[in-house]
Amino acid sequence: MTKAECVACHRSIDTTARLCPYCGANPRTGEKVDTDALLQEVFRPRELTTSESVLEYARQRQGVVVTASVIVAFLILAGLHSFVTSRNANAVTDSPAVPLTEITDLSNRVDETKPQPMPELKFQYEGRPQMMHTYIVEPGAVAPAPAPPAPAPAQKPK
């Protein structure tokens, strides 16, 4: 950082500075510059709406807003807990408990350990698995021609 001297106030400042940070003058000519007009031109203030001002207030005071939010949430939860607790204390019946066997009929339930009967087969079986023929269910499919009957074994004369 190279140093230069302001002509107006004779203090040591940076050579790249356009304004003296001490007196606000041009460091080369010593001419005073109206910084308020310059700031108003660069940083134009704008009107804030109500919602923007509330958000700006919340941003400036985040700690207070977070603390207040936590306290409100705690109070809501405490109120909900007391409501549920008082409701449960008043909504209890004096009648004895009903066993589940009176509510549920267990007599007509299927025994899960007992093997189930085999369903009726809807295809040709003829007693041998090699002869099993299944139905073709694709639309437009043609069933194969039936297999010719197997020749009977020749009987030996006695």
Are the beta carbons of 11 and 22 closer than 8 angstroms? yes
What is the structure's pLDDT at 127?
A: 62
Average pLDDT over residues 21-50: 76
Q: pLDDT tens for residues 36-85?
A: 776 666 666 667 677 777 788 878 888 888 899 999 999 999 999 999 88
User: Which tokens is 56 given?
Assistant: 């700006």
pLDDT confidence of residue 132: 52
User: What tokens were used for 101?
Assistant: 């066997």
Q: What is the mean pLDDT of residues 79-97?
A: 82
Going by pLDDT thresholds of 50, 70 and 90, the confidence category of residue 136 is very low
pLDDT of residue 81: 95
Task: Please state the domain extents for the chain.
Answer: 3-42, 50-88
pLDDT at 118 over 70: yes
Look-up of token digits 């023929």:
133
CA-nearest of 3, 11, 4, 9 to 30 is 9
Give the integer Cα–Cα distance in Å for 12 and 136.
101
Q: At what angle do helices 62-90 and 50-60 cross, to 10 degrees?
A: 100
* Residue 100 pLDDT exceeds 70: yes
Dihedral of alpha carbons 34, 37, 43, 48, sign: positive
Beta strands in the chain (DSSP E): 3-5, 12-14
Task: Please compute Rg for the chain using Cα positions.
Answer: 49
